[in-house]
Amino acid sequence: MESQSAKPIIAALLQPLPVLTQPQARNDLSDESVVRLLVRQFIDLSLDAFNQVLQGKLDQDEAVDGINRQAIALNSVFLGNSGFESVITHPWNTPEQLGAFLKDVVALEYPEDDCVRAMLIHLATQVMHALRLPDEERNEEVEALTLDAADLLLGRAPEDDGEIDIDIDV
C-alpha cells in the first residue's frame, strides 16, 4: 500500500529521530520514545493541515490527501516494509502481528496490511475534533490520543478504563 511519494515523507519523519533518541542513528520501533515521536509528528502534521484549511490557506481535499500520504508512509514504517536501514523492526512489525492486533483491538474493518494507516486516519479525525475544544482541553486530548496511539503501535491496549480512546466511528 506504499505509494512512490511515500518515501520522502518517511525520510522526513525519520530524519530528526537519530539526533533526538538514538545516538547510533537507528530508530527502534520497540522504543517507546521513537514510537511516540513518530505519532506526535503525525499529529502535528495533521493539526497543521487542519489549521491551514481553517485559515483558507489549503484546500480540504489537499489536506486530507497529505494526511493520508503521511499515514501510508507510517503504515510502511510500522509494518516493516519501508526499506529504511535506519529503522529497526521486530517480528511484531508485520501485518500478521501488528495489523491483526489493530484490526482486533480497534475493531478496524480493513486488511491487516492497511490497519496502521486506517488507525492513523481515525486518529487524525479525533485530532480534528479536538480542535473544537478550548486550548487546555485540546492539549490534554491530543496528548491522550498520542499516548493511546503509541501504545497500540507497541502492542499494548491503552490503559484508562479499558476503553480505546481512538473512536473509530466515521
Rg (Cα) of the chain, in Å, rounded? 15
pLDDT band at 12 (very low <50, low <70, confident <90, very high): low
Distance in angstroms (rounded) separating the CA atoms of residues 35 and 78: 9
Query: Quick one: which of 40, 3, 45 has its CA closest to 145?
Result: 40
Q: How far is CA 91 from CA 40, 99, 107, 153, 155, in A?
A: 24, 12, 22, 13, 12
- To which H or E segment does residue 87 belong? strand 87-88
Backbone conformation region of residue 162, classed left if phi is above 0, alpha if psi is from -120 to 50, else beta: left
Distance in angstroms (rounded) separating the CA atoms of residues 74 and 77: 5
Higher pLDDT, 22 or 28: 28
pLDDT of residue 109: 93
% pLDDT > 90, the chain: 66
Higher pLDDT, 87 or 18: 87
- pLDDT exceeds cutoff 60 at 7: no
86-143 pLDDT, tens digit each: 889 999 999 999 999 999 999 999 999 999 999 999 999 999 999 889 988 999 999 9
CA angle 53, 139, 32 (to 5 degrees): 105
What the block records as the C-alpha cell of 148 is: 493511546
40-54 pLDDT, tens digit each: 999 999 999 998 998
Q: Are 120 and 98 within 8 A, CB to CB?
A: no
